[in-house]
Amino acid sequence: MSAIERSAGASSAKRGEFKAIDWQKVRREVSRLQIRIAKAVREGRHGKVKALQWLLTRSFSGKALAVKRVVSNRGRKTPGVDGVIWTTQKQKRQAVHNLRRRGYQALPLRRIYIPKRNGKMRPLGIPTMHDRATQALYALALQPVAETLADPNSYGSRLYRSCADAIQQCFNSLVRRYSPRWILEGDIKACFNDISHDWLLKHIPMDRFMLRKWLKAGYFEGGTLYPTEAGTPQGGIISPLLANLTLDGLEAAVKAVTPRRTKVNVIRYADDFVITGNSKELLEETIRPAVEEFLRERGLTLSPEKTRITRIEDGFDFLGQNPRKYKGKLLIKPSRDNIKTFLVKVRKTIRKFTAMKTGDMIRTLNPMIRGWGNYHRHIVASDAFKKVDDQIYLSLWDWAKSRHQDKGKHWLARKYWHSGPKAWVFAAVEKTPEGKRRVELIRAAHIHIKRHVKVKSEANPFDPKDDKYFARRRANQRRSYIGRTATKAA
């Protein structure tokens, strides 16, 4: 371990500068240990896995990288129940030093609620900064195990996998004329809240002492401490890993009860999944009971209102998109609910800027439109993009009329809609020290549609034989991003 500390920037920490750590060496050392852990998992050497995890969680490199993750992510300014956040170099350096197993005691979570699409509220448990860093440290040791044992077609909360991969797998499974016609849409009820602690402590391959501390920490709400008897909190850094490890094996459980040549495919993203089959009877009488039994062992159940069996000709919603066959041809489009939710968000944002600067409104809307469009840019979305642009135009016109109630339509058009290379351009002209500058609102219809290339199901980022494959994918994604940026600049 001392050798690891010397090679991973321990001297920089001793000088008192967190930012002076050689992060390239730190990442290289952590990656080396993770690769060894994944290799030991593939070889079935469980003792070796445990020893390497012990080594990683006690290394300076692992501790430094865990603290860096916590102080760099979006939640870095959100404190836990102790009200502490790490902002100074001294606090970050001390945080690395304080990450120890001996004497560790997890503090209760701070409970908050965020709205869900159906109007209900989703509970989030916010750990303290110290507990977050500790979870991030042990997640580094658990991630290579999770990636090596993961189901081939699981895409949520995994490295180099995304919603686009899950949707493309749906396309691959359903596109052919002889592809299965029936789909079981599955949704697990309160997955993060109901996972059995006993199952987790028995089956998750990590330090059970630390895992028990997190699971039994409890949470504060309204000044009262409540115990946690089940579940792993949404808001914890290690929670997505634990949920994935809990649900891994679902694909094998389904395949085990189905006869050969039944065209069964399992596609899962976090706790949402779809299963294809030749017939409704197969899904209803064989596969659904097997899924329910698999979940029951883990303390989980299917959501009755969200779990249904449908025909591909009727279509189904999955991850905000709608795969459906039209006269035998499979098309995947943005779902109606997804479009509606996005437009509601845009309209609320526009209404907030009635008395504010137009340029600020455009700078707020552009990332929203670009993010939504880029999410759907790999499917048949051109018509949806045009519809969204039309609705945004109407919302902006209403906004302009309410902002200038004594002006006519020609005046409003001249002020806010400027000539551009492609149709109308909603823009604001701002004065700067260098002169006048025009800030333009982007249009979803200008986002280029391009088919996504799905990641190989068996590829493992912790297996050296797949290094070149992932390097090529990263290079292709960078080129695609640069191309989109050049188009926007033009």
Q: Is the pLDDT of residue 280 over 90?
A: yes
- Report CA 205 to chain centroid distance, whole Å: 23
Distance CA 393, CA 401 (A): 12
How many angstroms separate the CA atoms of 210 and 215, rounded? 9
Say yes or no to pLDDT of 225 above 70: yes
| Spatial distance between the Cα atoms of 356 and 361, rounded to a whole number of angstroms | 8
pLDDT in tens, 314-365: 999 999 999 999 999 999 999 999 999 999 999 999 999 988 899 999 999 9
Among 65-69, 192-196, 213-217, 430-434, the minimum mean pLDDT is found in 430-434
* pLDDT at residue 486 tops 60: no
Q: Do the Cβ atoms of 447 and 373 come closer than 8 Å?
A: yes
Residue 490 pLDDT exceeds 50? no
User: pLDDT tens, 240-276?
Assistant: 999 999 999 999 999 999 988 788 999 999 999 999 9
Cβ(79)–Cβ(128) below 8 Å: yes
SS3 (DSSP) at 404: coil
Using pLDDT thresholds of 50, 70 and 90, give the confidence band for residue 231. Answer: confident
What does the DSSP 8-state code read for residue 186? E
Provide the pLDDT for residue 421: 56
- Beta bridge pairs of residue 318: 321
State how far the Cα of 62 lies from the Cα of 27, in Å rounded to an integer.
8
Q: Is 60 exceeded by the pLDDT of residue 98?
A: yes
Task: Judge whether residue 487 has pLDDT over 60.
Answer: no
pLDDT in tens, 367-382: 999 999 999 999 999 9
Name the pairing type of β-strands 272-277 and 265-269: antiparallel
Would you state the pLDDT for residue 301? 95
| Separation of alpha carbons 230 and 219, rounded Å | 12
Please tell me what DSSP assigns to residue 454. P
pLDDT in tens, 421-467: 556 789 988 888 888 888 999 999 999 999 999 999 999 999 999 99
The pLDDT assigned to 423 comes to 60
Helix-then-strand count for the chain, H and E = 20, 13
User: What integer pLDDT is reported at residue 16 of this predicted model?
Assistant: 57
> Using one digit for the tens of pLDDT, what is the confidence trace for 333-347?
999 999 999 999 999
Which residue matches tokens 């990442």? 27
Residue 5 pLDDT: 42
CA distances from 175 to 161, 169, 268, 275, 314 (A): 21, 10, 18, 15, 15
pLDDT, one tens digit per residue, over 142-191 is 999 999 999 999 999 999 999 999 999 999 999 999 999 999 999 999 88
Name residue 308's beta-bridge partners.
Answer: 185
Q: So what's the pLDDT on residue 480?
A: 65
| Tokens at 101, concatenated | 């197993």
Tell me what the mean pLDDT of segment 271-292 comes to.
95
126 in Cβ contact with 225 (< 8 Å): no
Asked whether residue 399 carries a pLDDT value surpassing 70, the answer given is: yes
Structure tokens at 223: 């000044």
Per DSSP, the three-state class of 327 is coil
> What tens digit of pLDDT does each residue of 29-79 get?
999 999 999 999 999 999 999 999 999 999 999 999 999 999 998 889 999
